[in-house]
A and B are shown apart, each in its own frame.
Chain A
Amino acid sequence: MADMATQSSAPPAGAPQATKRDFLALTATAFAAVGVGAIVWPFISSMNPARDVLAMASTEVDLAPIATGMAVTVMWRGKPVFVRNRTAEEIATARAVPISELRDPQTDQSRVQRDNWLVMVGVCTHLGCVPLGQRPTDVRGDYSGWFCPCHGSHYDGSGRIRKGPAPTNLAVPQYTFLTPTQIRIG
């Protein structure tokens, strides 16, 4: 029976020493903190994208109808994606650009999986407008690529920033070739 006093995990009461009360207070507070976390997490998590939103996170694109020299715009995760079937000249021009001239140095080869298919998120990296250049009638800017009318960013035939305020090249999303004529973006 006398042993019970020594079984507490802190020495008995004394002004500067930790007491059993302190131990209890500490463990109770720790458990309360875990409890609060356990309660708060589901609320915060519920604000993350729900399963149906995540299911819409991939878009499949059929490339067969896109002729050489043509481009289409598809929606992916609420944003436009430019898919262009480039001509041989466009590819050659893009590859002839010295990397040192680029604000955001990237080779054309690193931006495509198959040379003629250019897939990019059509959102200007400056402040988010959709650049022109998908249609043959569009203004294509000084580098025969895309041109953002909002603040005058010029992108080249590989979607790289050449002139204007945009800091980086048009983003290339993650995509996979399911077949030679079908890609899945995201």
Chain B
Amino acid sequence: MAIGLHKSEVKNPLLRWVDERLPVITMIQKEYGTFPTPRNFNYFWNFGALAMINLMIMIATGIFLAMHYQPNTVMAFESVERIMRDVNYGWLIRYVHMNGASMFFIVVYIHIFRGLYYGSYKAPRELLWMLGVVIFLLMMATAFMGYVLPWGQMSLWGAVVITNLFSAFPVVGDFIVTLLWGGFSVDNPTLNRFFALHYLMPFMIVGVVFLHVTALHITGSNNPLGVEPKGPQDTIPFHPYYTIKDTVGIVVYLMVFAALVFFSPNYLGHPDNYIPANPLSTPAHIVPEWYFLPYYAILRAVPDKLGGVILMFSSILVWFALPWLDSSKVRSMNFRPVARIFFLLWCVSFGVLMYCGGKPAEEPYVTVSRIATAYYFAYFLVILPLLGRFERPMPLPESISRAVLGAKALGGGPLPAGAAAKPMEKA
């Protein structure tokens, strides 16, 4: 064998030839076959894989929709109705794409909440977490632009509201808005460029997901105990254990997805978006899609225009700082009984913000939004930093295997009974 070729273990001669020159098969076997994974994952750890599947579904359905969609204000709405009525299975592809966006945010929110509860953002996974926030921001941009494309009333007016936000910035605000619009209002140039960017951004997401998974494979996964694997007794190979567990997860996910698509495909949408866009008629209540409602509530909670915009963006940007804001040495909130309560309250505040975001900007929703916003930020900026210093966490197990298999089961095993007593682990 010449210098430089990879030493492949693949048996099949043709595949071996390929693998020697581009070791994809070896890579898949290493990263998704034998990869040592903590043995104590619960089902919250399925959601990263589900997000990846969801991304593939969105790209596939999106490409086939793009074969029929017309990104011109005169034809856009009709082209979507043509897809629904005339294109073979167009109704299915459209409903899967539309509800797939909602499923994507459901899956990603649960994925993020897992990270928040189990301290997956803590060292050494800070960069992994930040890449995840980047993916989330790209998802939001993609979803926002995608919603504009059918050119219904909510498409147009949602675009008007969100693009107008940028005028809040001093000096450059109006320049930015005109640049976004490509004209003097949200009109055909805006729609055209949103279509181009909406097609592009999922592929940017794929790139950042690749970085996200690579970073994960360097540090290894976190686990529900927040205690790092100490050796092979704490891990199991990804295949077949987590491939099969992920398959179960995928089936449940597809059942939920199918229930939405086939039984209530318009439940999560807004009926006003079935009215063709009319620049002369503003809908009574402009609301974004459900997954943007918490940030919408934060935006409207602040009486000042620029203040609202800054606070809304900050509500996500603060996530970048989380690894340094949370000073606790303990990762998993399973062992942080006080933090757990505050986190639960944070989830409640997120839900309250989502609810208020869908209501008109009147009392009592404004006051409630303000309280929920205050708690939302206080959790990150005040509570977590203080808790790290003053909370007394529960004692951590010595290792995953000890916690999962029990000290008694391990008593006669590879580790001698007494020698396994180790000091409490510090992150």
Closest to A53 in B: B86
A34–chain B nearest beta-carbon distance, Å: 15
| Chain A residues with a Cβ closer than 8 Å to the other chain, count | 10
**B89/A46 in contact, CB under 8 A:** yes
Say yes or no: B82 contacts A46, CB within 8 Å: no
A48 engages B82 (CB within 8 Å): no
Q: Which of B68-101 contact A (CB under 8 A)?
A: 68, 82, 85-90, 92-93
Interface string of A15-49 (1 = CB under 8 A from B): 00000000000000000000000000011011110
CB-defined contacts of A114 to chain B, threshold 8 Å: none
B89 proximity list for chain A (CB < 8 A)? 42-43, 45-46
Do A45 and B88 touch (CB < 8 A)?
yes
Please report which residues of chain B, range 30-72, place their CB below 8 angstroms from some CB of chain A when the two chains form the complex: 60, 64, 67-68
- Contacts A43-B60, A52-B86 known; 16 new A-B pairs at CB < 8 A: A42-B89, A42-B92, A43-B93, A46-B68, A46-B87, A46-B88, A46-B90, A46-B93, A48-B88, A50-B68, A50-B82, A50-B86, A51-B85, A51-B86, A52-B82, A53-B86
B binding-site residues for A, Cβ under 8 Å:
60, 64, 67-68, 82, 85-90, 92-93
Chain A residues contacting B90 (CB-CB under 8 Å) are 46, 50
Name the residue in A45, A46, A47, A52 with the highest tally of chain B Cβ atoms < 10 Å from its Cβ. A46
9 A-B pairs with CB atoms under 8 Å apart are A42-B88, A42-B89, A42-B92, A43-B64, A43-B93, A46-B87, A46-B90, A50-B90, A51-B88
Q: What residues of chain A have their CB less than 8 Å away from a CB belonging to chain B?
A: 42-43, 45-48, 50-53
Chain B positions within 8 Å of A47 at CB level: 64, 67
Q: Which residues of A contact B87 (CB under 8 A)?
A: 46, 50-51
Measured CA separation A42–B65 after assembly (Å): 12
- The closest CB in chain B to the CB of A49 belongs to B88
Q: Identify the closest chain B residue to A45 (Cβ).
A: B88
Q: How far is the CA of A174 from the CA of B82 in the complex (A)?
A: 28
How many whole Å from A50's CB to the nearest CB in chain B? 4
